[in-house]
Amino acid sequence: MAAAAQSATVQDTAVRDSVAQDSAASDTTPEPVSVQRAVTDEETRSELQALFDRVPSFRRVTVTVVAGVVLLEGVVVDADDRRRAAELASSMDDVRFVDNRIRESTSLEEQLQPTWARLRELAYGTLAKLPLLVVAVVILALAIAGGSLLARWSGPSFLQARNPFLQGLIRRALQLVLVVLGLLLALDLLGATALVGAVVGTAGLAGLAIGLAFKDIAENYLAGTLLALRQPFAQNDQIRVDVFEGKVVRLTPRETILMTADGNHVRLPNAMIFRSPLINFTRNPKRRFEFQAGIGTADDLVRARDVGVAALLATEGVLRDPPPEVLVTELRDSTVTMSFAGWLDQHKTEYVRVRSEAIRLVKVHLEEAGITMPSPEYSVAMRGEVASSLVRHDEERDAPPPDRKRAATDVSVDRTLDQQIDADRRVADEDDLLDKTKEPPAR
């Protein structure tokens, strides 16, 4: 019995000890968690504050961390610094929320301080690179001087008598290339080649925008350059472009100026001349003229052809080589149409004058040979005295004049427009891209 009682006592004591241990354990469980959270907050605060202390713009920022919530207080100069401080705090581990109470400084002195600092750094950097800057300036000056010498160079000998405009264009291109190379070398010596890329890129975009905005103007200037290189016409050349015809006064970078037969100036855009078919009547000295006349259906066409050829050969200014010719071109109800053609040297004679004289002499020769040139016929019945008077009037009108001598006609070159063009060139102040070394043909 005693042993049983002793065993029961031992068991009760063990139960009481177990209950006491469980109670003690439940009372001390929250204590390690609170301590760990505090340690983590302090580590976060210390690490974040150390980062802020190393950055000059964040040195006046204080950090407080409680239960994973970061409180930022202090003053910064720039609003971007305030945002970057919050982003840096958010990137830390164990940070649940960032309360950003940083203020932006309104002090003028503090606002200007970064600018003064950058200016001081720039000044110190410039002084450090002053010897290189002197060398770069010397290189650029030598490049500009060399470009000026190239601009005064007479150019390759094979261009001196062919195209002065092309000669000047090559000189300017060489000058530009030399100056650009000197500038690139100077910037590379100063370590500013990145600036060149930015400038070139900006210039390219600006050029594209300007080209789209002034497309027609740029097109005309480009066409003027190409026309100056090709030289499809010379001064005083008689040309026709579209419906415009006249003598060339000058070729400017943007337009070509013509003088019409009436003495009027016509300014044609160079792009229009470059795109349109161009007829140069002066480039070939020999020029063919042609006109038509109606012959009676009862007349001998072979004899009319021979008379027409003889009349053309008798015309002053008509060439014998190539020989003139007369062709039958059309048969009508009351007439046969014949075409009379001949050639002339327009450097020695005037086209319109020779053609006019040829028409006159062909008419005279045909009438003297008895070849009729009737007008359209209509049958009208007339009676009495009216009919007889009309017949007498027709006979008087058709009777050849007693004097059929051929009057001398001036077929020399008409220099009226040439003199006006020369006077215009003397007073005009526009650029002329035509070849000045090419003399106009002797006329």
pLDDT digits (tens, 9 = 90+) for 377-413: 656 666 655 555 544 445 544 545 544 445 567 788 8
80 & 152 share domain: no
pLDDT digits (tens, 9 = 90+) for 313-329: 999 999 999 999 999 99
pLDDT bracket for residue 421 (50, 70, 90): confident
Separation CA 30–CA 258 (nearest Å) = 105
269 & 291 share domain: no
177 & 250 share domain: no
Separation CA 203–CA 195 (nearest Å) = 12
Output the six-digit token pair for 88: 């840096």
pLDDT digits (tens, 9 = 90+) for 252-298: 888 999 999 888 999 999 999 999 999 999 888 999 999 999 999 99
Residue 249 has what pLDDT?
A: 92
Q: How many residues does the chain have?
A: 443
264 & 347 share domain: no
The sign of the torsion formed by the CA atoms of 21, 25, 28, 32 equals positive
Is pLDDT of 102 > 60? yes
Within a domain: 62: yes
Residue 217 has what pLDDT?
A: 84
- Residue 287 pairs with which residues in a beta bridge? 344
Is pLDDT of 375 > 50? yes
270 & 300 share domain: no
208 & 172 share domain: yes
372 & 307 share domain: yes
Separation CA 284–CA 300 (nearest Å) = 36
315 & 346 share domain: yes
Burial of 115 (0-12, 13-18, 19+ CB in 10 A): exposed
> Residue 355 is part of a domain; what is its CATH number?
3.30.70.100
Within a domain: 61: yes
Within a domain: 432: no
pLDDT digits (tens, 9 = 90+) for 8-45: 444 445 445 554 454 444 444 455 556 777 768 888 88
Separation CA 24–CA 385 (nearest Å) = 163
Rounded average pLDDT over 354-358: 94
Within a domain: 186: yes
pLDDT bracket for residue 374 (50, 70, 90): confident
Is pLDDT of 441 > 80? no
Mean pLDDT score of the chain = 78
CB atoms within 10 A of CB 258: 25
Q: Which among 343, 377, 411 is the end of a domain?
A: 377
Q: Which among 182, 212, 242 is the end of a domain?
A: 212
Residue 48 has what pLDDT?
A: 85
277 & 423 share domain: yes
259 & 189 share domain: no
Is pLDDT of 130 > 50? yes
- 420, 325 in Cβ contact below 8 A? no
Within a domain: 257: yes
Residue 98 has what pLDDT?
A: 87
For residue 257, give the nearest of 13, 65, 420 by alpha carbon: 420
Helix, strand, coil share of the chain (percent; to 5): 55, 20, 30
Which of 91-100, 120-129, 226-235, 307-316 reaches the highest mean pLDDT?
Answer: 307-316
pTM of the predicted structure, to 2 decimals: 0.54
pLDDT digits (tens, 9 = 90+) for 179-219: 888 888 887 777 766 666 666 666 666 666 666 667 788 88
Residue 365 has what pLDDT?
A: 94
Residue 241 has what pLDDT?
A: 93
pLDDT digits (tens, 9 = 90+) for 149-179: 877 766 555 555 455 566 666 777 788 888 8
Rounded average pLDDT over 79-97: 84
**Looking at 74-83, 104-113, 245-254, which range is the least confident one?**
104-113
Residue 213 has what pLDDT?
A: 64
Domain, as residue range, for 40: 35-105
Greater confidence, 344 or 120?
Answer: 344
313 & 243 share domain: no
Residue 1 has what pLDDT?
A: 40
Residue 3 has what pLDDT?
A: 45
Domain count, the chain: 4
pLDDT bracket for residue 304 (50, 70, 90): very high
Residue 92 has what pLDDT?
A: 83
58 & 74 share domain: yes
Within a domain: 394: no
CA distances from 129 to 48, 118, 123, 194 (A): 39, 16, 10, 17
The answer for residues whose C-beta is within 8 angstroms of residue 30's C-beta and 6 or more apart is: none
Within a domain: 193: yes
Q: Which among 319, 344, 377 is the end of a domain?
A: 377
- 387, 395 in Cβ contact below 8 A? no
Q: How far apart are the first and last CA of the chain?
A: 163
Separation CA 289–CA 344 (nearest Å) = 8
Greater confidence, 121 or 290?
Answer: 290
Within a domain: 385: no
> Residue 57 is part of a domain; what is its CATH number?
3.30.1340.30
